[in-house]
A and B are shown apart, each in its own frame.
Chain A
Amino acid sequence: METINVDLLFRIAGIGIFISVLNIVLKQADKEEQAQMLTLVGVVIVLLMVIQLINELFDSIRTIFNIY
């Protein structure tokens, strides 16, 4: 029996919760722009992680189903 790699899932969820908490703090401190930037940075970081996973998925589908 193999274990499924769930690291990325928890990492993304953690980043999301972390950023939403920080967002609330920044909004309370009247720093709307920084909050916006933080959201953007979070999205970019998560996107970089997810893109690698999607690339892996597409590669494996392409090799399994012989799509070129």
Chain B
Amino acid sequence: MKKSIIQLTIACILIASTIYSQDLGTLRGVVTDSTTSEALAFGNVIVLDLNRGASTDSRGYFLIPQITANKELTLRVSYVGYLTKNIKIRLTKGKVTHYNIALVPSTIQMQTIEKIGEKVIEKNETDISLQRMAIRQIEALPQGVETDVFRSLQYIPGVQSTGDVSARYFVRGGGSNQNLVLIDGITIYNPFHALGLFSVIDPDMINNIEFYKGGFSAQFGGRLSSVLKISTNDGNKNKFGAKASSSFLTGKLLLEGPIPHGSFILTGRKSYSSSILKKFLNDQTVPIDFHDFSFKANYANPDFIPGSKFSFNGFFSGDNINNDDPFVEDFKWSNNVLGFKWFQVGDSPLFYEIGLSMSDFKGEIIPKLSNTRANKNEVTDVGINMDFTYMFDYKDEIGIGFNVQQIQTNLYIENDRGVTTDLGNSAANISLYAKYKFLQFDFIGVDVGMRMNMTTLSRNKEAESFEPRVNFTLNVLPEFKIKGAWGVYQQEMTTVSDENEVINIFEPWIITPDYLIPSKSNHYILGAELTPWKFLMFSVEGYYKKVEHLPLLNDKKILSSDPDFIEGEGESYGAEFLLRLSSDFATFSSAYTNAFAYKVVDGLRYYPKYDVRHTLNFLLELNFGAGWSASASWIYNSGLPYTQVVGYYDKYYLDDVFLPPTIFDPRRPYAMLGIQNIGRMPDYHRLDLSVSKKFRLGFMNLEVDVSAINVYDRKNIFYFKRDTGEIVNMLPFLPTATIKVEL
């Protein structure tokens, strides 16, 4: 198998070489920050003399083929927040000429967010449903306690939450377990701290984010709905530095600096107070304690292997809820991730990356002397991946990848009789993908790909072997694009999650049991983008997503012989509108989504808990200069679905079977439920404000951010406690502050 892949790759390269023009050269480069040497992702590079350009990728790399050789040309490199740089270049005929370009940060704080990720140069980039974000963009948003990547996603049209209490997100009608979260290409299985209130990803470790709401191309697999690809910082290659920050919840520390032929970065975060969590958890005190820690080291020595870059990274997070009371259970869960990558560029326009990874999740409910049942989940995911990208001189790209993933899951559950059973499994997924990006004409870009599962995690014979994907962009006019995507996606892992839980500790992962066919979705997406002026962008996207063989927890399971899961179906469709106005001083964006989502189980169709018909949000970001910036956001959602109470009856509770029968009346009202999720909560809306100031104090750079969540203290209903009649609201008016110190 390996042999055939290598042969295929070599064949592609040879074919490409034969048609490589000898009169022209290829320009390759990497764009970095001059002060830190961090890669600047999604920046713009243009050869002014030829009016041809490219955008940098998530590693800061760019490649422009067919550039006149042996002639001095001017290359303009621009990136928002940095001084635009014009450099003279001269290419060698028939060769790849490499330039390292360092941009100097602008001394005047310009508007920092409006153009990041827009890839204005590559007009035919196949990027429907793709949102690119730099960390500064996320930091500019009003913060709930502290900057959180997952919460920031909820400003994107098509991304939904079940309330501001949880950081879990739902994309285009898909469940939260259908979202793939990758840190430097490695899957994080439970990326949440503190009962799902915050993400485990410390923003300080992030360089850039690519978020695919659907229609993602063939290099991604294993999930039905979305991909969140997070690329981490490399660390400062020029000097040692340290950052410390503190919020009401955590203290953080970052250390970075150069090492011979490379750099390192260490980040750590630790909760020190859980009192702010009472605002999220209906005044309940949860003795939660969490931490996360990441490191990355890079090595790029041209004397060792020219064009190579090696990186070794790790990410570790842990949460503990330890109760002193022996009759209240304890909880702990953790993620441990290790990865090694070899990225290589050569003398030909070929990039390749070879990676080894290990992702491990452990979650445990320790009942101690309580009535709670024991539960322990372990996931071990070990993988090898190889990705090759070759760019032809006529700008088309071919991508080939090979991925081997060995996954072992264990889920130990205590049954009604106190007997522990293991629902775990172990299997390997070997997959190969190939995609061809047709980009040679500026008016059209097409990405055609196929993901082939040579072995599947599921032993069910109906597991899908082929996952075809197509993605296109058509430039009808320079200011007007039509985009579309179609694809088949398969997911062979699922969580044991109860749809009726609005807050849970963690969601155990298992390989879909063999008696179920792995779930499969089809995405159909069509959109248009209008940019009549540089400062105005308007886009619309419509989508239809059909999910088959959706595994759902069998809430009617009574006997141990009953299946744990049953099969359902999902369907969702909607339209998303985005308007963005930007200037050097301000950016205003508004997004509206009209969406519909359904699930069908046992022939009964119902709205999932995250089905929101109308979502509207406004976001205003202002940059006043001199380190001052501010933002305001207003979010409106029509009501979330809920299941109505259709009466009560006095239920007999076997509180104490030893009581004599004549004195018993152990009955309490039991709420009978109507058709699932047929009711709708009142509308949700909230205004958030944020002001931040950066300044220098002696040898330190300081940044103070003050945010206020739910400024007019809207009583947004979170849920109705049927057993007590209490209405529990979401976040009240919540002022927060963060201070950062940088050395």
A and B are interacting partners:
no
